Structure 1
Amino acid sequence: MKILRLVSFFGAWLIGIGYVSGQQVLTLEQCRQMALEHNQKVLIADEHVEAAGALKRSAQTQFLPSISANGLYTRTNKKFSLLDKDLMLPVIPYTAIDPVTGGLNSAILSPTLPDGTPNPNFNPLVFGSTFAIDPSTGQPYTDSDGNPLFQRYTWLPKDKAEFGNKNVYVAGVNLTQPIFTGGKIRETYRIAKYGEKLARAQSEAERTEVLYKTEESYWRVAAVAEKVKLVQAYIALLDKLNTDLENYYAEGIIIKNDLLKVKVKKNEAELNLLKAQNGLTLSKMALCQQVGLPLNTDIVIADSLPALMEPIAQMNYTDSALARRPEIEALNQTINIAKSGVNLMKSRYMPNIGLTANYMFFNPNPYNGLTENFGGDWSVGVAINVPIFHWNDRGHTLKAARSEQRVAELKMDEAKELISLQVQQAIFQLNESIKKVEMAQVNLKQAEENLKVTRDAFESGRQKTSDVLEAQAMWQNAFSDLIDARMEYRLNVVNLKRVTGSLK
């Protein structure tokens, strides 16, 4: 035991000079922080949180009016023509126009009334100046269809009734403000908000998993390092026994076979030391990979496996897990998203109402004879769209959304059952590991006492060499079992924190 304490002292001394020799000493908290900063899954989850937050802010802008500018340039090949041929338009005095109807004033242009009696308001001057009069009859000349011919005509050529320019410019500014959409914008914003919370819960789950794996790797290094020291201490015991046996052999007390037995055990121990050292190297490489250091970094952990067990808090671990686990929070947000999805499908039955305001510029200017300059005007309007019939498309999508909500609720029920089972399993494993540590401590104490008694009896000649070797092997196995039990206990403590959502 003195040799074991001596080996432990030199191990601690080597750790103490680690800073000088180029070794990097890491504490558990440093490893946790480095792992969170390095792990790609955590970084990806954090980016998902950022993206979800941006989408939420984007959805929030849908409540506000949108302003846009539009522009159009068109080059045409032909002008528009109002006439298909040249026209002859009659020229008549303004008194011949009825101001009420806009047509010819029959009150002064017709010599007779509809009943055949003379028209007292008949004006022969206007009548004659309007129509071409046949002197023989005193009546207007008529065409082949019996229509009277006018006295004077003006010529309207076809090419003078064309309009339009080769280059057409249209520009404007538009403002649109939704007034009522049946809840579409509100539910879209809620979905984005729940999506951000879902991303945060998933990020928290990734962080918890990374912390658990980091602590697992950290305590595994501690356990393997203690096993290396244990094997070194066991070899030291074999060396001391070999020295004593060589003295006994020189005095003729024992035979050479006893020396060979010790050498065989030492060879086995040296092989086990090599395996333990290789295991320690691999464990350190796994920890380096977890915290983002180069795999060949020479690290030393600052902690060792605790000899004392932490008191287990008395609490309802299942309720704590259901309240803290990020998986439950993620499923809660999934249910909220599904509920908003149902409301979103219901809003498709509602009308959409929006306010629009525009200011448009045109060139050619339609407000000034289509001249080649810009003219503009504003307009304000309210648009409404009312869905009536589309072969029950909205009904099918609403049914699908309700099914998705039901699926999310069923997943929540399943998750609660699995988490409750997981918590109970973690509690049982921790209680078992506590019992293993207690039993291993008792076994080690018995093995130490057995080794002491056997060693004393061997020195007095009452025990054989094989008995000492067996006692030393029993002591080594008991110590190794205690290291394994302590590591298992430490990992089960971390696992209980993980399954209850308290590993932060």
Structure 2
Amino acid sequence: MKKRIFYPLFCCCAFLSVPLMAQQSPLLEKYRMMALDYNHDLKAAEKNIAASVEIEKSAKADLKPKLSGAANFQYTGNPLELTLDAPSIGLSKTVEGKQLNYGGSLSLLQPIYTGGRVLESIRMAKHQQSLASNQAKVLNDAVCYQTDMQYWSAVARQEIVSVAEDFRNSIAALVKTIKERVEVGLVDPQDLLMAEVKLNEAEYQLLQAQSNFETGRMALNSMIGVRLENATELDDQIPVVVIEDSVWLSTGAERPEIRMAYDRIRIAESTKKLNDSQFKPQFYVGIDGSYSSPGYNFKKDLDPNYAVYAKVSVPIFEWGKRKSEKRASSFRVGMAEDNLNKVMDQVELEIGVARKALSQAIERVRLSESSLAKAEENEAKAVERYNEGKVSVVEVIDAQTYRQTSQVNYVQAKAAAQGHYSELIKALHGYDYR
């Protein structure tokens, strides 16, 4: 019943669909196209579609007459002999066959009725072509989604490099201030050692962040088909997610996985009809033309001849094979319908989970942004109070560390939000490039 309820909605959404995807970044749009052009699985999928088109053409060719030719050559050591005796009239005649038999022939065969096999083969080829096309769309969505994830990961790592540089510079400025105070005897030299240790740690974090960024960019380069060492251009920062209203309204009815499930039902139904066609009458008409020796009336020379014929074959008794084949095919159709319901449940769950995850990710961005603002304010006050001699260097370092952590959390929250947004676009089949 679920299939029947969903089918009208599926048809309506196919006509009333609207674009779901707002432009996240012009660079990302560019890299999606590059990834689609470079991806080897998509190239194979395109060849699969082309092959299915040729299979449909091949199936249609079975509707037309088939012309075939043949040639033969035969030497017989002891040819047949025929003796005719008529004693009443005193006549005796012996006719001897030819040792050499050779010639050529052409045959034209036209199917008239094949139990629906030819027409159903054409429909089967169309269903397989539709399945191949929808499989390519699934790959299209997967490649776009993977490109999104690699791109935002690279941008996030680039931002974290900036955060690490900012943190290193803050600690370096603090070390310089402490040195000046140690020289005039205002602070304990131990404070300087503590700050220098933190500076070394900041330098280490910066090197690690730079290494992570380079590997992330190499992964993106590999996906879009450029040299791994290429300095691919990236956005400076991850933008905050902007969501179109259509994202919340769409049902995902145009998901290629759902269309594939329908294709598999149609393929199973066509297979059932094809299996049944072999148990129905087969009717053909044909013409044979020959040019051979010996010819007509035992002529020695090459002689033309022809034959027109009709051929009918009817299966009579198959020991219940037809019923068993029919029941097996019906079970396969039922399995395909069950698979459709399963796919619909999975799509519904995937969309619901993606929407919930995106909503929570947006809230985490808001919270991390608020925390970052407070951490920056706390750092500024800690530095000010340290300059006034009211707090120790430990509190300043802690404030700077909190600010760095808040910056990293904010970057990661934005990257996660963009990732969940791309996940929702994929769940709604919003990538429409091919």
Secondary structure of the residue aligned to 2:421 is helix
Q: Aligned partners of 1:36 and 1:311: how far apart in 2?
A: 24
Summarize the Cα distance change of 1:362–1:434 in structure 2 as closer, same or farther, 3 Å threshold: same
Residue 176 to residue 88, structure 1, CA distance change in 2 (3 Å): closer
Query: Secondary structure of 2:78's partner?
Result: coil
> Of residues 395, 399, 407 in structure 2, which corresponds to 1:471?
399
- Structure 1 or 2: larger helix share? 2
Instruction: Show the 5 A alignment for 1:139-288.
Output: 153-154=90-91, 160-165=94-99, 167-288=100-221
Percent of aligned pairs sharing the same letter = 25
Residue 29 of structure 1 and its aligned partner are, at CA, apart by: 2.4
Name the residue aligned to 2:34.
34
Looking at structure 2, the residues matched to 68 and 229 of structure 1 have their Cα atoms a distance apart, in angstroms, of 75
Shift in Å at residue 394 of structure 1? 1.9
Cα deviations by residue, 1:121-172 (Å, 9 ceiling, x for unpaired): xxxxxxxxxxxxxxxxxxxxxxxxxxxxxxxx4555xxx432222x211311
Separation (CA, whole Å) in 2 of partners of 1:240 and 1:298: 34
CA offset at residue 301 of structure 1?
A: 2.6
Is the Cα–Cα contact under 8 Å of residues 494 and 503 in structure 1 kept in the other structure?
Answer: no
Structure 2 Cα separation of the partners of residues 258 and 338 of structure 1 = 78
Q: How many Å separate the matches in 2 of 1:31 and 1:59?
A: 40
Tell me if structure 2 keeps the 8 A contact 1:201–1:329: yes
Displacement of 1:406:
0.7
Tell me if structure 2 keeps the 8 A contact 1:164–1:370.
no
TM-aligned CA deviation for residue 314 of structure 1 = 5.2
| Aligned amino acid, residue 312 of structure 2 | I
Q: TM-score, normalization: structure 2?
A: 0.90
1:317-361: CA deviation from partner (whole Å, max 9, x where unpaired) = 5x631x211111111111011111122223233211112112111
The answer as to whether partners of 2:221 and 2:232 remain within 8 angstroms in 1 is no
Query: Unmatched 5+ residue regions in structure 2?
Result: 1-25
Aligned counterparts, 1:48-447, within 5 A: 48-83=48-83, 89-92=86-89, 153-154=90-91, 160-165=94-99, 167-295=100-228, 297-313=229-245, 320-321=251-252, 323-367=253-297, 369-371=298-300, 373-447=301-375
Q: 1:294 deviation in Å?
A: 3.0
Counterparts of 1:305 and 1:388, CA distance in 2:
76
Could you state the TM-score of these two structures normalised by the residue count of structure 1? 0.78
Following the alignment from structure 2 to structure 1, what is the Cα–Cα distance between the partners of residues 426 and 419?
Answer: 10
Q: What amino acid is the match of 1:438?
A: R
Larger radius of gyration: 1
CA distance in 2, matches of 1:299, 1:325: 36
SS in structure 2 of the partner of residue 498 of structure 1:
helix
Classify 1:316/1:341 alpha carbon distance in 2 versus 1 (closer, same or farther; 3 Å): farther
Q: Distance in 2 between matches of 1:360 and 1:236?
A: 97
User: d(CA) in 1 for partners of 2:288 and 2:237?
Assistant: 75
The answer (yes or no) to whether the contact 1:359–1:377 under 8 Å persists in 2 is yes
C-alpha RMSD of matched pairs (Å): 1.7
SS of residue paired to 1:299? coil
SS state of the match for residue 324, structure 1? coil
What whole-Å deviation, never above 9, does each CA across 1:243-292 have from its counterpart, x for those lacking one? 11111111110011111111111111111111111111111121122112
Matched AA of 1:206: L
Indicate the SS of the match to 1:358. Answer: strand
Deviations 1:444-500 (A, max 9, x none): 000011011111111111111111100000000000000000000001110000011
Compared with structure 1, are the counterparts of its residues 88 and 244 closer, same or farther at alpha carbon in structure 2 (3 Å cutoff)?
closer
**For the residues of structure 2 that align with 1:404 and 1:316, how far apart are their CA atoms?**
36
Amino acid at match of 2:78: K
Distance in 2 (CA, whole Å) between partners of 1:186 and 1:70 is 29
SS in 2 for 1:254: coil
Q: Is the 8 A contact 2:291 2:302 kept in 1?
A: yes
Which structure 1 residue ranges, 5 or more long, are not aligned? 1-25, 93-152
CA distance in 2, matches of 1:305, 1:215: 14
* Correspondence 1:455-494 to 2 at 5 A: 455-494=383-422
Bigger drift between 185-194 and 69-78 goes to 69-78
Counterpart-to-counterpart distance in 2, 1:181 and 1:161: 44
Kindly indicate whether the alpha-carbon contact (under 8 Å) linking 1:222 and 1:301 is maintained by their aligned counterparts in 2.
Answer: no
Cα deviation for residue 232 of structure 1 reads 0.5
Partner of 1:47: 47
Aligned-partner SS, 1:161:
strand
Q: How many residues align?
A: 407
CA contact (8 A) 1:218 1:301 kept: no
Query: Does the aligned pair in 2 maintain the 1:305–1:487 contact within 8 Å?
Result: no
